[in-house]
Structures are given as C-alpha cells and as structure tokens.
C-alpha cells in the first residue's frame, strides 16, 4: 500500500470518529446556547428591576394619603429586589461556568479533528507539504492552517507559541478578523476559519489534499 492509499484508508477509517466529534460539538453548542439564554434572561430581569426602581422617587410620600402603606410597599419592593438579585447572581454564576466548561470541551474536540487531519497529511507526505492549488484560508494555504492548528492544539499550554504557529494565528486574525486568545488553544476559531461545520466538509477537504 502506497502513502496515498494509506492516507485515504486512514481518512475512511476516521469517518466515524470525526462524526462523533461533531456530534459532541453540537451537543456542547446546545449547552452554550442554553447558558447564553440564561445570561440574556438575567440581563432582562436586571433591566426590569432598574425600570421599576427608577420611578421610585416619583412616589412621593407627602402626596400619598396612605403613608404607612407606601412605606410597607417600599420595603416589600426592596426585599423583592434583593431576592431577585441574589437569585440572578447564582444563576449567572452557573450559566457562565457552564459556558466556560463547554467551550473548553469544544476546543478539545476541535483539536482532535485537527489531529486526525494533520495525521492524514503526515501519512501522505513526509512532512508539511506545499500543495499547488490547495484551498486558501485568507492569505495562507489550508495545509498551513491544519498543520500549525494541530500544533497549537497539542502545545497551547506550553507557553508562547512557536513562530510558525504564531504566524498562522496572526494571519487568521489579520485576514479574517478572528479573535485569538492568549493562553487558549483557539481550535474552535481555527475550525471556524477552515469552514469545517460538518464531517463531510472535513473529509472532502482531506481527500482533495491527499
């Protein structure tokens, strides 16, 4: 079996793994959306509270013939506000934690997709290939993004990225306006830059490259 056949066989055998990775990405994306909806709900709740209390000073006790009822109402509103704020703070903390955890998990899954993709290229070529006519991602080849993206995935926690990885990330940022976060593996952003939204798109690109 030659290197081309090995690479094609590897891609074929990886089809199920890539599908499972994307299924998991979809599940985690659902968690993120649900948590984000909670954050938006809390923001709306805070706005409603703000709208309610901004009119408080207009409720003049001097003009109110039921001063005692007015005071009681103010105390009740204060208690409601504190209870709502405490509840919202707890919900917000949980929502943000869910988002953070899900994003970290999704980034690891995206890194696994890049690992499979780089391995396909490694089986076909002895090193990082220069493929004429390869799809461009901004100013650089799809090969560059896959190869150095995988390196970023594997070594992002080693500190400052190596020059080739840094150059690839900077190019994505410049060409596509993608936000690159220091101290993160950025694999979700890299997957987005590759426009890999489905397993079929991944396999199609890899088969074209090998």
**What residues have CB less than 8 Å from 63, skipping those under 6 apart?**
none
- Predicted pLDDT at 66: 47
Residues 112 and 66: beta-carbon distance below 8 Å: no
Closest to 116 measured CA to CA, from 31, 30, 191, 32: 191
- Predicted pLDDT at 49: 53
Predicted TM-score of the model (pTM):
0.72
| Residue 63 CB burial class (10 angstroms; 0-12, 13-18, ≥19) | exposed
- Predicted pLDDT at 85: 57
Domain boundaries, the chain: 3-209
- Predicted pLDDT at 57: 47
> What are the backbone dihedrals phi and psi of residue 64, each rounded to the nearest 5 degrees, phi first?
-105, 125
- Predicted pLDDT at 109: 82
Residues 189 and 172: beta-carbon distance below 8 Å: yes
Question: What is the full per-residue pLDDT of the chain (210 aa) written as tens digits?
Answer: 568 888 889 888 888 888 878 887 777 677 667 767 766 776 666 555 555 444 444 444 454 444 455 555 656 666 566 555 556 666 666 666 666 666 777 778 888 899 999 999 999 997 899 998 999 999 999 999 999 999 888 877 777 788 898 899 999 999 998 877 777 788 888 888 999 989 999 999 999 999
Rg of the chain over Cα atoms, rounded to whole angstroms, equals: 26
Rounded distance, CA 33 to CA 67, Å?
A: 47
Scan for tokens 């074929």, then name that residue: 12
Helix 3-53 and helix 67-124, axial crossing angle in degrees, nearest 10: 170
- Predicted pLDDT at 64: 46
């Amino acid at each position: 079996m030659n290197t081309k056949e090995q690479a094609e066989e590897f891609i074929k055998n990886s089809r199920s793994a890539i599908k499972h990775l994307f299924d998991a990405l979809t599940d985690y994306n659902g968690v993120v959306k649900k948590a984000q909806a909670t954050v938006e709900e809390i923001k709306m709740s805070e706005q409603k509270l703000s709208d309610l209390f901004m009119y408080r000073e207009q409720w003049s006790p001097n003009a109110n013939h039921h001063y005692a009822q007015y005071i009681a109402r103010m105390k009740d509103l204060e208690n409601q506000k504190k209870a709502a704020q405490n509840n919202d703070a707890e919900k917000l903390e949980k929502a943000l934690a869910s988002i953070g955890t899900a994003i970290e998990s999704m980034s690891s899954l995206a890194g696994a997709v890049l690992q499979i993709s780089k391995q396909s290229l490694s089986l076909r070529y002895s090193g990082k290939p220069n493929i004429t006519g390869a799809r461009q991602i901004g100013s650089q080849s799809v090969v560059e993004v896959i190869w150095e993206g995988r390196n970023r995935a594997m070594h992002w926690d080693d500190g400052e990225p190596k020059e080739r990885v840094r150059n690839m990330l900077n190019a994505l940022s410049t060409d596509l306006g993608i936000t690159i976060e220091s101290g993160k593996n950025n694999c979700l952003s890299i997957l987005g830059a590759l426009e890999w939204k489905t397993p079929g798109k991944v396999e199609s690109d890899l088969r074209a490259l090998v």
